[in-house]
Structure 1
Amino acid sequence: MIRTGLLLAAGASRRFGTEDKLLAPLHGRPLITYAAETMRRAGLDRCIAVIANPALRPCLAGFEIVEAVSTAQSDSLRAGLQAMGETDRLLIALADMPRVTSDLLCRVTDAATGDCPAASHDDGPPMPPVCFPGSWLTRLADLTGDQGAGRLIRDLPPEALVRAPGLLADIDTVSDLAGMQRTAG
């Protein structure tokens, strides 16, 4: 079975201000390094990162890099899919979620079946990290807009949801980053 990780890191960081939030320091290192390190440790066969800012490259050792214009989330997803080729499982993670663990990535990948995706949740709607079977890649490629894969996972059955309390916080604003700075690294 081929398991591919896709790290989406091509957002425009509009709510963060003028700097790229993925390069902003969290506990002394760039934010993106948390998601990259976690994905590298998840035992995947291949890791791909979709980026808009070439300055992120040094943080992504071991990843195949796809540069994409920072637009809608579905555009980044499609860019990654085009670079990917054949896979049996596609694990998608977001680069601005530093609390996600490699254990969570593995549990989500293991919960996906040959015909049903799996996703994370924290007592709310399903969200990334999410893992899609190869049979769903055409559906992913057909997405448009800024919802990304959200519309494909919103009605997953309970057995396809992996609970991840406290792990799914993302960084959108400088105050989000400041709040995370105050917590343990």
Structure 2
Amino acid sequence: MITPDQTALILLAAGRSRRFNDGDKLAEPFLDKPLAYHVVTALERIPFQARIAVVSATTLDFAALGYDVVENPDPALGQARSLGFGVARARELGCEAVLVALADMPRVTAAHVHRLMDAADGPATIVASSDGVQPMPPALFGKDMFPMLMQLEGDHGARDLIRRGHHVIAPPAELVDIDTQEDLRALRERYGLRTDGQPEQPPARVTRDEARRSD
């Protein structure tokens, strides 16, 4: 059995956002906070042994939110390099498992992460999320998987590993991954927000003279 107090949460926040085209994707506003802070808030009450954020060139202050911040100096080498940095730090801290989450998945819930934990079966655990079609993060790995995770390369990260693990299904809306401007626009529209992320402006006040002229 794996419990949160034996587990490091690794938040991957070092992507280059190549498909997003402009700006720091993780700092883009969504509802009441930057996009990346939603998963932080959702998982803040889970008593992880450690919280590790792997970052690169972001203005967001994960350290102020209780994260051990690890800098990825070369995100061009792919997501696997960020994952390796996070796992190495978790191993230094003596963690028995890692829960890998992506900072650009703002709708992940604590309830789903608890279900991942419930499905764990020891140090060789591989438990991933699924939308019913394909496996994806968040994903849980036992410590026997640490050496393999640290040897991964490229942008595929642990994709091949999680395909062979146990999969816990969540509603697709909880596992939405924001890669492009269009993805963010669609998410905002789902919540009744303007596509630029700004609050709706009240209608302009019409003066009595203007109203008379329009009659």
Q: Which residue of 2 aligns with 1:167?
A: 174
1:91-110 mapped onto 2 (5 Å cutoff): 91-110=99-118
Q: Which residue of 2 aligns with 1:118?
A: 127
1:42-121 mapped onto 2 (5 Å cutoff): 42-57=46-61, 61-69=65-73, 70-71=75-76, 72-84=78-90, 85=92, 86-114=94-122, 115-121=124-130
Task: Structure 2: give runs of 5+ residues left out of the alignment.
Answer: 193-215
Question: Which stretches of structure 1, 4 residues or longer, exceed 6 Å deviation after superposition?
Answer: none
Distance 2:62 2:154 in 1: 29
Shift of the 60–92 alpha-carbon distance from structure 1 to 2, 3 Å rule, reads farther
Q: TM-score, normalised by structure 1?
A: 0.92
% identity of equivalent residues: 38
Partners of 1:50 and 1:76 within 8 A in 2: yes
Instruction: Note the C-alpha offset of 1:59.
Output: 7.6
The size of the alignment, in residue pairs, is 182
Partners of 2:70 and 2:85 within 8 A in 1: yes
Alignment match of 1:129 (pick from 138, 147, 157): 138
User: CA offsets, 1:119-147, max 9 Å, x none?
Assistant: 11011121100000111111101111111
Partners of 1:32 and 1:59 within 8 A in 2: no
Alignment match of 2:151 (pick from 142, 148, 152): 142
Partners of 1:5 and 1:39 within 8 A in 2: no
Q: Which residue of 1 aligns with 2:211?
A: none
